[in-house]
Structure formats: structure tokens, C-alpha cells
Structure 1
Amino acid sequence: MVLDVWKQIKKQQFAPIYVLYGKESFLINETKQLLISNILGEEESDFNLSTYDLEETPIEVAIEDAETFPFMGEKRLIFLNNPGFLTAEKTKDKVEHNLSRLEAYLQEPAPYSIIVFSGLYEKLDERKKLTKELKRKGAIVEAKKLDEQELKVWIRERAALNSVQIDEDAVELMLTLAGANLFMLTTEVDKLALYVDAGKSIDVHTVDKLVSRSLEQNIFSLVDKIIHRKIDEALRIYYDLLKKNEEPIKILSIISGQFRLIYQVKELARRGYGQQQIAGYLKIHPFRIKLAAGQANLFSDEELTRIMKMLADADFQLKTGGLNKEMIVEMFLFRLQKNKA
């Protein structure tokens, strides 16, 4: 996992070559920042940090840089972005690369330089000799979207990096509030670690008290109250959102999106799809599918169909004017309570 590579970097145990790839750009950027802060001093970045776009610059230019002794420091750090020759995906290369020059460098990397290849590619081309050699000589970081279990490991290990622990129920609540957004999870864990001090533990009460709630998170709570028919509590959350100047049309849109997801998950599960298959088919994080699957069990097909119709009617009223916008969502909530099957 990427955190294993991070631990090595923090221990000043560097590989001569790093290959960062995947669709989770947060992990790639965090790894880059970690390398910069651990390899170069504050004043060294101006002299010993280079960045090349390999869609614009031939690889041999970057290799020549890597073979140049560092100035006023011990190491050179060279970022090579968009190495299209490492993937089978279609890329925008505007130059031809002398890859034999790179292959020769890999046989004897400069001991004073660290090269970091970085690309938002889903996969590397494992068939290529160059890819195999890079995997043999370097450290490979796959920056992929994490599943639920990996996210839990991420939260626990991020807490450990901050010299604190986090209780299991606190991990669950953190995922509920922050979802699969690694940037938000990382920010919140770091904040909580500062609050509880080193050597202590983050509990569920601390998470509930301190974790920031975005519009989506507040509406997640709103939807949860709606689903469990706690309309009074749903209305309180709705009124709080209005006080924060959130637009009723945006609130209704997110509510509609969640009920649409519940409907889709229920239908696909009936057809025999597993949760991982549904996540892949809908291109939605598995954690959200798991939550929707639990919510789907609370509704009959007839109820969901009726609710989707009510939401469509409310959306039409919001977009065509007439009634007060705030009242339209309020009326939907009252109708939902009244129309319970």
C-alpha cells in the first residue's frame, strides 16, 4: 500500500526510481510532497528540483539532468510527468523518446539523483521490458481508489503517522461523514490528531464533535432521517441548511440522487449483481453502494416508485416557479410522511 512507501521515505530510505500511477491524484501529489520535504532542504529546491512534462520533453534531456551533480546539496529530485511510454493508454506525446537511453540509465542510476515518473494512468503496460525493469529497480506506487477496507486501513495508519490511535467505531463514523474523499479524510484525521495529542486515542465522540460537515454530509444526514421516516429531525436539518443559505434546488437534487441510487442498487441486486459489481457498473465507490443497499431494504418497490415521482414533481415545481422554493422541499417531506405505505 502507498503508506508503506511513505514510511520508507520518512525513514530516509529512498529508491533511485519511483513510478506513481493511478487515478487517485491526491495520493500522487501527497507522495511527491513527501519526497520533496524529505529529500531536499528548504533552500535546495531552487537548485536541485526539476520537473519535466514527457509529452513535451524527450526523456534523454531529463536523464542528462539526472546525471548532473547536485548544486549546494546531496541529492537531485527529478519529476517526470506523463510518461506515456509506460502505458498502453492513448497519450498526447508530441516528441520521440530515446528509450534505450533510459534503459541504459536504469542499469546504473546516478547515486545522487532520484527520478519520479508520474502519470494519471489506470494501468502500466506490463508487457514492456522497460516497465518490468522499472518495477525491478524502483518503488511502484499504485494510486488507486480505495475500497471500504482499504479506507479503514488508511484512516488507522494516517492516525498512526500522527502518533495517535483511532477507535473502530470512530473509523466507521469518519467514513460516514467524509465518505471516500481521501483529501477530506486526511485533513480531518490530521486535525483530530492535533486535538487529542500524541499517544492518545480518537474516539467516536471526538469525531462527531469536530469533523466538518459539508453540504453533502449534512444532506446525507437529512436523507438518513427521511429514510427512517424521522421527518421532524429531517425538517430541523433542512431549516439549518436554509439558514446557511443553501439553495433548495441543490438540496433536492442531492436527495433525488440518493433515492435514485437506492432504486438502482435495489434493481441491480434483484438481477443478481453483487455490491462490487454494482459499484463497477454505476462507477460509484463501493462504500456508497453498501450504504444504499442497506437503505434499499427499508423500501418496497412501490414506495420507491412513488417517492421518485414525488421528487420529480418537486423538481418540476422548483424549476417552473410558482410556489415558494423553500416550501416545495418542505411539502415533499410532509407528503413523504403522509404517503408511507
Structure 2
Amino acid sequence: MIPVWKKIEEKQLSSIYLLYGTESFLIDETKQKLIQSVLTEEEMDFNFSVYDLEEVPVETAVEEAETLPFFGDKKLVFLHNPTFLTAERSKEKVEHNLKVLEAYIESPAPYTIMVFAAPYEKLDERKKLTKLLKKKAEVVEAKKLNDKEIKTWVRSQAAANGVQMDEEALEHFLMLAGTNLQLLASEIDKLSLYASEEKRITVDIVDKLTARSLEQDIFALVDRVVSGNIEAAFRIYYDLLKLNEEPIKILAVIANQFRLIYQTKELSRKGYGQQQIASFLKVHPFRVKLALRQTGNFSDEQLSSIIMMLADSDLQMKTSGMSKKLIVEMFLFRLQNLAN
């Protein structure tokens, strides 16, 4: 991913780009970099076109791409939702003349940059058009980043803001903020602004300024309980209530965390690695990494008991008149007794 962005920033541009994958932030970021690199603000009105291929035939976009720029030297043509590149049954309301598109890809206009934005996990590699695009286009696969890739991405975002992030600070940052790239980018901008004089983001800065995701707060809450620090666990719980998080939602996220710990422990015992577990469970690798840290704190019997306790608490919330806030508090005390 990074080399492609670097080429764009250095104006080493291709005539055709294929952006595909389910990480929408990476697709949007690449599109923004292309716009900033190719067009001035004045040229946007004349030389920037966007087509939704679920609504417009592809030959219309090709015709636009073949038309000379009205103002300036380059034009950008974005083609969204090219479902004809996938194995899915066609849902388009229009018919596409794909022969016209194939001919264009073989000999693209030198003054146009055509960008396919395909928000799909997979493309149909058997199709002639997919093979041709992968051969002729600059391909950006916007997949969910693994642990190593997300760290590289965070470092590059910080470096783009003119600061460095300490390794310990980076680990702490991901533990607190989670893995949503849109949120991470916003948090990095905030941290970078604060650290603009020292040019260095430390653990203290991360701890002071980073907004916690609910999942990461729950991870920390569970961690405090099993380490015997019940007071710290309750502080996190009451802070979540002050932020208007509903007790039933907090209990549901705690349940998700323990299910993940249980599943991760079982799969790890069977020889699965972190990346394999993440793929099998369809969760981000960093969440698996955090869950693996906690598996050693619980025996199989304890995890089974905790999951039963969570089911009982959920039932109480839905059927009894007891305070939902109190039900979560009772669960945390029971969890502490079981863990210790």
C-alpha cells in the first residue's frame, strides 16, 4: 500500500487504478491522494467525473475518459461499484458494453486517469476483464490490515504529520483506540498536533489524549478484574455510564470479549496462529492478539462458568425488574471471585 501512495505523492501516476477491498478508509484515502496530486482546485469543476456503474453504463464513462481535458492537462474519472468484476449475480439496472471498456484498458487516453473503486472482498479472477485490469492497472488492495501492517500504517500517518511515535506508545495507542482506521487517523492528527514541538509521541501523551473505543475499555475493565484491581475496573465501568453507555450494551461487549477469549484459546490449542484465528473468526488480528494475552488468565472451566454467568445476567436484565446497572456490578464481583 505505502509504495503506491508514495508514487502518487511524487506524481508517478498510472493511467488506470484498481482499488478494491472492504477497508473503505484506504480506498477513500487513495482517492483523495489522487485528487490532490492530479488536479488543482480550479480544475476540479472541469476535469473530475464520478460514475456509479450500478446506474450508468460503463461506455459513458469511457467516452468521458476519451474526451480531452477542457481546462488543464489531466482529468480524473472515478468508476464506482464495478460489480461486473465480481462473481456476484449482476444487480445492475443497466447493461454494460464491456468490449468498449476492454479496448480502452488496452490503450488508455494519455491525459486521463481512470480509477475503479470496487468495495468487494474478492474479484472474479476467472474473468477476462479482471485479468486485464490486474495486468494493466496499478492495483491497490484495501484489505483489513494485520498487526504488522497497521503499525506500519500508523507510523506513516505520524511521519506525514512530522512526528515519530515511540514503539511502546504505538502498542499502547492501538490497545486504547482499536483498529478503525478512520478513528485512528483522527486520533493521530490530534496526538501529532499536541507533540508538534517535541516531534515525538510518548506513552504519556497517548494515555492523556487518546479516546478509548468501547471494546478497548472493556478489555481494560476485564484486565483490571482478573489482576485483582476491582476498584480500577469499577472506575472504568462508571466512566462508561457517564458517557451514556447502556449497561445492557456494556454486558453484551463483555460477553463478546469472553467468547473471543474462549474461541481464541481453543483455536490456539489446535495450532492455529494469530492471523489464522483472525481469518477463521472474521475479527481483526489485533483483537485476537489482545484476546491471546488474556487466555492464560482463565482455565476452560472458568471460561465456561463466566459465559454461563453472562447468560444469566443477560436473562436477568431482560426479565427481572432489577437495576441493569446493579446486574453488571454483581457480575463484576462474581467475576473477581471466580478469577481469584
Calculate the TM-score normalised by the size of structure 1: 0.93
Supply the distance in 1 between the matched residues of 2:212 and 2:339 (Cα, whole angstroms): 29
The question of whether the paired residues in 1 share the 8 Å contact of 2:226 and 2:336 is answered with no
Tell me which residue corresponds to 1:26.
25
The question of whether the paired residues in 2 share the 8 Å contact of 1:163 and 1:199 is answered with no
Tell me which residue corresponds to 1:47.
46
**Which sections of structure 2, spanning at least 5 residues, go unmatched?**
none
The question of whether the paired residues in 2 share the 8 Å contact of 1:163 and 1:198 is answered with no
1:339 aligns with 2:338: yes
The question of whether the paired residues in 1 share the 8 Å contact of 2:264 and 2:288 is answered with yes
Within a 5 Å distance, the mapping from 1:196-275 to structure 2 comes to 196-197=195-196, 200-275=199-274
Within a 5 Å distance, the mapping from 1:112-261 to structure 2 comes to 112-197=111-196, 200-261=199-260
Letter in 2 for 1:180: T
SS of the counterpart of 2:211?
coil
Moved more, 249-258 or 263-272: 263-272
Supply the distance in 1 between the matched residues of 2:129 and 2:314 (Cα, whole angstroms): 54
Measured on the aligned residues, the alpha-carbon RMSD in Å equals 2.0
Tell me which residue corresponds to 1:90.
89
Supply the distance in 1 between the matched residues of 2:248 and 2:214 (Cα, whole angstroms): 13
SS of the counterpart of 2:45?
helix
Supply the distance in 2 between the matched residues of 1:198 and 1:97 (Cα, whole angstroms): 54
Structure 2 CA distance for partners of 1:89 and 1:26, relative to 1, 3 Å: same
Supply the distance in 2 between the matched residues of 1:203 and 1:285 (Cα, whole angstroms): 25
Supply the distance in 2 between the matched residues of 1:198 and 1:240 (Cα, whole angstroms): 31
Show CA shifts across 1:258-301 (max 9, x none): 11111122222333433333222211112111211221111111
Supply the distance in 2 between the matched residues of 1:84 and 1:336 (Cα, whole angstroms): 49
Letter in 2 for 1:98: N
Structure 2 CA distance for partners of 1:251 and 1:47, relative to 1, 3 Å: same
SS of the counterpart of 2:12?
coil
Tell me which residue corresponds to 1:291.
290
- Residue 198 of structure 1 deviates from its aligned partner by 7.1
Structure 2 CA distance for partners of 1:174 and 1:101, relative to 1, 3 Å: same
Supply the distance in 2 between the matched residues of 1:340 and 1:82 (Cα, whole angstroms): 50
Supply the distance in 2 between the matched residues of 1:117 and 1:87 (Cα, whole angstroms): 13
Supply the distance in 1 between the matched residues of 2:339 and 2:281 (Cα, whole angstroms): 28
Letter in 2 for 1:265: T
Tell me which residue corresponds to 1:105.
104
Structure 2 CA distance for partners of 1:200 and 1:64, relative to 1, 3 Å: same
